[in-house]
């Protein structure tokens, strides 16, 4: 809806798609309802897919129903990291519930919110977990003697990812051992994060790669993967790290606790600076356990989060099967 279509470059050449440029009016959740509804009435698509709160106006435009609609929720911004905003709760309840919209969520945590807080009927809420490619062979889990341990992360440099927390924890680590931090990703906070690394005296040991078209390619440079977010649901970056066979340290947000509960539960902590720094330091002191953590994590992803499992479920969405079941219900 920001008229940025860069992601289209990632589609296979055989995919038939076209960008639809829109004049989007800012300043209210229903400011564009009339224009969007007229567009739906003119185009009459076989299926409308809307994503997250930023596209909730499309649910308003499709009330009363013009076309079949599936709404997808896969996470929140910093404003909903700690609590649900009442106005948004009520709008989801009305626009999605009253119009019998099928809702797809990317985590069990979101599923609980959709049914328990937004009060959407459970029969219209479908959990489809994220899925990732799994390499044929796991990477070696070892740190050569004399080499700095390499801690890595993959994330957009936005407030809710709280990369500042990771940099502060890394500074504590760097004060007592040789280490490097690799931050893969870009965003509005890059300048202030680089300044923080400078202020803490670790800038020489922190690499900001910027935007990478294939960030997973840098995973082979990491010894330990760390994510320090205030809010997540089912983070793809975490699953990719586990899929290649890498130990991970994470804040306990979204479904992360469920994922790591039988992989490396001691590497989970509350999304606060002190516990995260302590958890990261403890994990670095337990390198003999890394191969077992990595093996258990890879097996977890193979069993529950493979891309083939995800695409099979999404095929049902694109085939309209979720919509038909909702109408029948």
pLDDT tens, residue by residue, 1-31? 888 998 898 899 999 999 999 888 876 667 8
| pLDDT in the model for residue 29 | 63
- Among 135-144, 242-251, 277-286, the minimum mean pLDDT is found in 135-144
What is the distance between the alpha carbons of residues 278 and 260, in angstroms, rounded to a whole number? 18
Instruction: Please report the beta strands in 2-148, taking only residues with DSSP state E, as ranges in sequence order.
Output: 48-51, 69-73, 102-105, 125-127
More confidently predicted of 141 and 206: 206
Q: Mean pLDDT throughout 110-117? A: 94
125: three-class secondary structure by DSSP: strand
Q: Which residue has the tokens 């990732």?
A: 132
Q: What are the tokens at 44? A: 């009459």
The Cα–Cα gap between 253 and 226 comes to 13
Which domains can be identified in the chain, with CATH numbers?
Answer: 6-130+308-328 (no CATH), 149-305 (3.40.50.2000)
* Residue 206 structure tokens: 């922190």
Q: What is the pLDDT of residues 127-172, one digit of tens each?
A: 999 999 999 888 877 777 778 999 999 999 999 999 999 999 999 9
- DSSP β-ladder status, 179-184 and 206-210: parallel
Is the pLDDT score of 178 beyond 90? yes
DSSP string, 64-98: S-SS-EEEEE----GGGSSS--HHHHHHHIIIIII
- pLDDT for 44-100, tens place per residue? 999 999 999 989 999 999 999 999 999 999 888 777 777 888 999 999 999 999 889
Can you say whether residue 28 is alpha, beta or left, with left for phi > 0 and alpha for psi between -120 and 50 degrees? left
C-alpha–C-alpha distance, residues 238 and 218, integer Å = 13
Give the per-residue pLDDT at 324: 52
More confident residue, 144 or 271: 271
Q: What residues have CB less than 8 Å from 166, skipping those under 6 apart? A: 153, 181, 183, 226, 227, 228, 276
**245 conformational bin, left if phi > 0, alpha if psi -120 to 50, beta if neither:** left
Segment 203-226 shows an average pLDDT of 92
Q: Enter the DSSP assignment of 106.
A: S
Run of H or E including 35:
helix 33-43
């Amino acid at each position: 809806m920001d008229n940025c279509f860069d992601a289209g470059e990632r589609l296979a050449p055989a995919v038939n798609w076209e960008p639809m440029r829109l004049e989007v009016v800012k300043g209210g959740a229903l400011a564009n309802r009339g224009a969007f509804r007229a567009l739906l009435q003119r185009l009459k698509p076989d299926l409308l897919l809307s994503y997250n709160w930023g596209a909730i106006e499309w649910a308003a435009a499709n009330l009363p129903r013009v076309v079949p609609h599936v709404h997808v929720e896969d996470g929140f911004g910093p404003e909903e990291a700690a609590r649900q905003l009442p106005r948004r709760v009520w709008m989801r309840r009305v626009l999605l519930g009253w119009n019998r919209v099928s809702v797809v969520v990317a985590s069990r945590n979101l599923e609980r919110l959709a049914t328990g807080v937004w009060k959407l009927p459970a029969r219209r809420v479908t959990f489809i977990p994220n899925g990732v490619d799994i390499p044929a062979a796991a990477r070696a889990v070892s740190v050569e003697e004399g080499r700095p341990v390499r801690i890595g992360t993959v994330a957009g440099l936005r407030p809710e990812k709280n990369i500042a927390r990771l940099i502060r924890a890394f500074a504590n680590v760097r004060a007592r051992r040789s280490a490097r931090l690799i931050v893969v990703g870009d965003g509005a906070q890059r300048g202030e994060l680089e300044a923080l690394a400078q202020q803490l005296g670790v800038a020489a040991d922190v690499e900001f790669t910027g935007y990478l078209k294939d960030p997973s390619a840098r995973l082979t440079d990491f010894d330990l993967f760390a994510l320090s977010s205030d809010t997540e649901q089912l983070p793809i970056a975490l699953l990719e790290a586990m899929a290649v066979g890498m130990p991970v340290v994470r804040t306990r947000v979204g479904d992360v606790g469920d994922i790591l509960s039988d992989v490396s539960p001691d590497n989970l902590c509350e999304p606060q600076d002190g516990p995260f720094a302590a958890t990261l330091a403890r994990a670095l002191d337990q390198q003999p356990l890394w191969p077992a953590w990595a093996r258990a994590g890879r097996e977890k992803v193979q069993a529950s989060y493979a891309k083939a499992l995800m695409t099979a479920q999404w095929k049902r969405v694109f085939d309209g099967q979720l919509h038909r079941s909702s109408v029948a219900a």
